A and B are shown apart, each in its own frame.
Chain A
């Protein structure tokens, strides 16, 4: 039996779902190709979790349709469940049980005989660096270990599609890197991953396509490169050797780039937005030109960086509102669960 899948893993059209007055999904369309990481990017309360819960058969949509590997998530929920796994935002293993017990429990529920379930549990715990913690209750695990046991539980049956709902939120950088490594390995073995995240850099590093979600809608979709170029602007950060050259640098940059230039609190630092609308050059070419101007004028630049647009900038550009975490809205959704 070939478990490689091609074509579309998820097709959703016009999904809607409300919780009382709150419209969590206002008509989501998605086309997720199989065999890669697909990122759902958006702030808290954008509807990412609701979308995942509908696609994972946990919630019924009020309207619209969704198919996972061709199976309708409402009418053929069992067929969908046989091929997907979910690692939710909250603990999706039993915190009172040990790591081993959790994995044996799930192995048995997926139909493995007792000895096979135990063997699989040991194998997974080993691969996820949890052998030492195998006999401890999950509630005594650190944040990173907890995430790993969550993901281990999700790949117990090597699903064709894995939902990861904000897998790195609240993790320290090292644990985040470990999770990223695991996600890459999972995808390399043919599992499609739908990843929700609030972090642009995470989506950028892992996803081959990204949908930006806000107020329950997809407001932009494409490869990370396409999205960034559609947003269009980056920031050049410069640090000069001599603070007294800054006024001249400011004048030159303004002339070269015809964009607003900002003087930072640090007397040698200066920043400029590049790659904005209306420019025939891309951000790096503009930055190169600016550097050239400065060097010709004899201004020494000690440090230079061209920054990516941040999530805030993407959001500002796409929605005209900043990506502030809408905590109140999130709480409402929680209450409606």
Chain B
């Protein structure tokens, strides 16, 4: 990947000779534009995230193939045993597996940030006079697109397998909306770990250690009423449980007010606590 690929344009590579006139033109100091607003800066950074998807489309593998595998695997693994048929199980299970898959891919936010820092491009971003959280907000907004994509992939697979939500189109959209808002908030946990941990691998390791118990010890796969008391206590406190309850309710055309309240509170806590920790680390590296 060096000079030979760089000059493989079909024509003979021309040697660059810096021309003083051309340099003079670009070096003439112009008036400095006013600094962009926080929103505009964040959107510019999310444009960068979209460009990266365009140039490295392989990175969409984890938001397409992975969710499909999750849905198929668990629907047919548990369906017959836990409900009368995979199709019956799917009515209960689909919102849960959608939450699990999307929450699991939030960890790539941390991994991506860690890689960016390793490569040095964040050094330039950090020397720009823009609203400080913009680089991270933009990155997460770009990730939100991936969450939406994953949710839609799962929904499609579910519909093909026989998932028939009572809430209709609006209910399903509301459910996906709740999931995406929560995932945006939850991503700040991973930006923090992406900043404090040294390698991509350790970010992955920590994420899996947190995400596995969080998604499995919940109401995603089964009704918690058969679990021992201590486990039920954990499941009830688990934000994933509340998220699944509210997404399930929305897709079924109802509202679970207490679960909604809980996930609003959890989302606020993630943004305030981990958003602040992240920015503290980001400014003091």
Contact = CB atoms under 8 A, between A and B. Distances in A.
Interface in A90-124: 90-98, 101, 105-106, 108-113, 116, 123-124
Given A91-B120, A127-B19, A142-B3, A3 B285 contact: no
Nearest to A156: B26
Contacts of A86: 123-124, 127
Contact of B26 (A111, A116, A127, A178): A127
A56 interface: yes
B130 interface: yes
Contacts of B23: 127, 182, 185-186
Interface in B26-65: 26-36, 40-41, 44-45, 47-48, 51-52, 55-56
A139 B26 contact: no
B127 A57 contact: yes
Interface string A42-74: 000000000001001111100000000000000
Interface residues of B, number: 54
Nearest to A120: B26
Contacts, number: 155
A88 B120 contact: yes
B194 to A, nearest CB: 14
Interface stretch (A27-35, A128-136, A314-322): A128-136
Given A111-B36, A127-B26, A189-B28, A105 B16 contact: no
Interface string B53-87: 00110000000000000000000000000000000
A161 to B, nearest CB: 11
A127 B22 contact: yes
A136 B10 CA distance: 14
B9 A132 contact: yes
A141 interface: yes
A13 interface: no
Nearest to A2: B29
Nearest to A129: B16
Contact of B127 (A81, A93, A128, A137): A81
B15 interface: yes
Nearest to B47: A105
Interface residues of A, number: 71
A204 B69 CA distance: 62
A91 B119 contact: yes
Nearest to A94: B121
Contacts of A155: 26-27
Contacts of A128: 16, 18
A153 interface: yes
Contacts of B27: 155, 158, 185-186, 188-189, 191
- Residue of A89, A129, A137 most packed against chain B (CB within 10 A): A129
9 contacts: A82-B32, A90-B120, A94-B52, A108-B44, A108-B47, A116-B33, A129-B16, A140-B5, A189-B27
Interface of A: 1, 3, 53, 56-60, 78, 81-82, 84-86, 88-98, 101, 105-106, 108-113, 116, 123-124, 126-130, 132-133, 136-137, 139-145, 148, 152-153, 155, 157-158, 174, 178, 181-182, 185-186, 188-191, 335, 337
